[in-house]
């Protein structure tokens, strides 16, 4: 039999060991950024360009209006899209790293790029990505002499997907918004092939995909060219507040049609966009 003093020493040792182990595991979890505090709401992040986040010249992006469709008591919506960015520059400028630092298991990420990916690779704003969804890359030299490696549009999308999943979060890809460009009574359905490439990446990676382009275009053609002109703010790409609200409602409508959409459980039941 152990003496009382011996039992006291054993008990103290065990308590210290458990305390140290718990503290170490908590520290690891905190450093990984993947553990949510008890009671903390999940977050929906939006990443993209000015069509999702814009406050210039009277324009607004759809990301600023999306939160009104979600139950704020159950989920947070953070619009991290940034004007002028492409799938390449949102990644290369560290904007994606900032999202990853906050991203936790159980969060969601809406991913929409393409409007700026067709630009030059190494001149002007130098924000273009290589066309397609392959693994090829190209070294380019910027005006200041710096050398950079540029990947395909699909490569950047797959990187966002992989990083999101590694955090235990859920990615969803959206195709582009629609520009106010018409021909013979029909509105342009997407700029270039970026919508097609986004769909192909989503299918190959088994990720949910919202065909926002056709949802918006169908609505525009029902309204007609004259009414649609009022949904834009001075150019053919950037929407007015009314246009941004419409696009946000189309995002919700698209989400509501997805099979096994875990994000949809956080939508307001009363949201008209779900009807």
Q: What residues act catalytically?
A: 50, 235, 238
Matching residue, tokens 């790409």 = 237
Matching residue, tokens 């955090």 = 167
List the structure tokens of 150: 């540029």
Supply the Cα-derived Rg of the chain in whole angstroms.
23
Beta bridge pairs of residue 150: 138
> What is the C-alpha separation between 269 and 275, in angstroms, rounded?
10
Enumerate the H helices of 111-183 as residue ranges: 153-166
> What is the C-alpha separation between 169 and 109, in angstroms, rounded?
7
What is the CB-side half-sphere exposure of residue 132 using CA atoms within 13 A?
7
Phi first, then psi, for residue 67 (nearest 5°) are -60, -30
List the structure tokens of 144: 């200041």
DSSP state of 215: H
Which phi-psi region, left, alpha or beta, contains residue 84 (left: φ > 0; alpha: ψ -120 to 50)? left
> What is the C-alpha separation between 78 and 266, in angstroms, rounded?
14
Diameter of the chain by CA atoms? Answer: 96
Judge whether 175 and 190 are in contact, CB under 8 Å.
Answer: yes
DSSP state of 231: G
């Amino acid at each position: 039999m152990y003496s009382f003093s011996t039992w006291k020493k054993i008990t103290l040792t065990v308590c210290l060991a458990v305390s140290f182990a718990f503290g170490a595991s908590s520290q690891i979890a905190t450093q990984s950024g993947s553990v949510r505090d008890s009671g903390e709401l999940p977050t929906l992040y939006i990443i993209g360009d000015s069509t999702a986040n814009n406050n210039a010249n009277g324009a607004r992006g759809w990301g600023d209006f999306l939160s009104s469709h979600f139950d704020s008591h159950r989920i947070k919506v953070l619009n991290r899209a940034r004007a002028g960015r492409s799938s390449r520059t949102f990644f290369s400028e560290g904007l994606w790293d900032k999202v990853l630092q906050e991203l936790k298991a159980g969060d969601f990420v809406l991913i929409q790029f393409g409007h700026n990916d067709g630009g030059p690779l190494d001149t002007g704003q130098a924000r273009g990505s290589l066309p397609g969804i392959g693994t090829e890359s190209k070294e380019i030299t910027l005006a200041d002499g710096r050398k950079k490696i540029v990947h395909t549009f699909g490569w950047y999308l797959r990187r966002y997907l992989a990083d999101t999943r590694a955090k235990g979060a859920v990615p969803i890809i959206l195709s582009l918004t629609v520009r106010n460009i018409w021909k013979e009574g029909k509105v342009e359905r997407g700029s270039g092939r970026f919508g097609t490439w986004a769909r192909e990446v989503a299918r190959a990676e088994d990720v949910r995909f919202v065909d926002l382009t056709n949802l918006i275009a169908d609505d525009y053609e029902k309204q007609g060219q004259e009414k649609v002109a009022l949904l834009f703010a001075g150019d053919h790409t950037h929407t007015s507040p009314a246009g941004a609200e419409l696009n946000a409602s189309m995002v919700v409508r698209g989400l509501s049609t997805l099979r096994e959409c875990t994000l949809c459980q956080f939508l307001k039941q009363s949201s008209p966009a779900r009807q």
